[in-house]
Chain A
Amino acid sequence: QVRLVQSGAEVREPGASVRVSCKASGYTFSSHYIHWVRQAPGQGPEWMGVVNPTGKSTSYAKPFQGRVTMTRDTSTSTAYMELTSLSSEDTAIYYCTRDPLPFQRYNRFDPWGQGTLVTVSS
């Protein structure tokens, strides 16, 4: 079955960067868009951006532009999200998720990874 397995929890100090990985299995990785969504404690989800199937094109939500980079490695079926200049407001669970139809971007997310808790604290 389709699975997205993310890297483990991270703790960072303010001003640092974090990179979260998302390993895909059960489908053709290079055929689907990968999105990243975060959820702060007690809040609703927040879309961060998307990387296309080849990894050559990205689109980032305005609040994250200049601070986020999304990439993917087809050889290992792994997607990555790096966020820089962290502050306490970036403390959240970060999810990777897939647009379910090959080569189509409908901004519909299925399935989701298990989530990676990123804690920013001094």
Chain B
Amino acid sequence: QSVLTQPPSASGTPGQRVTISCSGSRSNIGSNTVNWYQQLPGTAPKLLMHTDTQRPSGVPDRFSGSKSGTSASLAISGLQSEDEAHYYCAAWDDSLSGLVFGGGTKLSVL
């Protein structure tokens, strides 16, 4: 059972907009910033979003992040087939004194 809760799956058709949620608590998302990682099949995770809403250089502006209270979201607009991957949220947890990940969401592009 992960400390951060994500839906196990999400899907959309090319061109659609999808949103992936990440629910936590006051000790993690409520107190610290959220980062998102994209993991393509058979590869290492890649930083997709940091500090709740900031895109690293090279990440398309189709990806956006938001946070409110103890929940965060990753939105992908103009869905493309290459977006098919697992997505993980992560945040520091003050109670655990450790970095916690969500269980991951597998995004399928139909």
Residue numbers of A with Cβ under 8 A of B are 35, 43-47, 59, 61-62, 95, 100, 106-115
Contacts and interface: CB of A to CB of B under 8 A. Distances in A.
Contacts of B102: 44
Given A62-B96, A95-B44, 13 more contacts: A35-B99, A44-B2, A44-B102, A45-B37, A100-B47, A106-B50, A107-B99, A108-B51, A110-B46, A111-B46, A111-B47, A112-B46, A113-B44
Interface residues of B, number: 23
Given A45-B88, A62-B96, A109 B101 contact: no
25 contacts: A35-B99, A44-B2, A44-B88, A44-B104, A45-B88, A45-B101, A46-B101, A47-B98, A47-B99, A47-B101, A59-B97, A61-B98, A95-B44, A106-B33, A106-B50, A107-B90, A108-B47, A109-B37, A109-B45, A110-B46, A110-B56, A111-B44, A111-B47, A113-B44, A115-B44
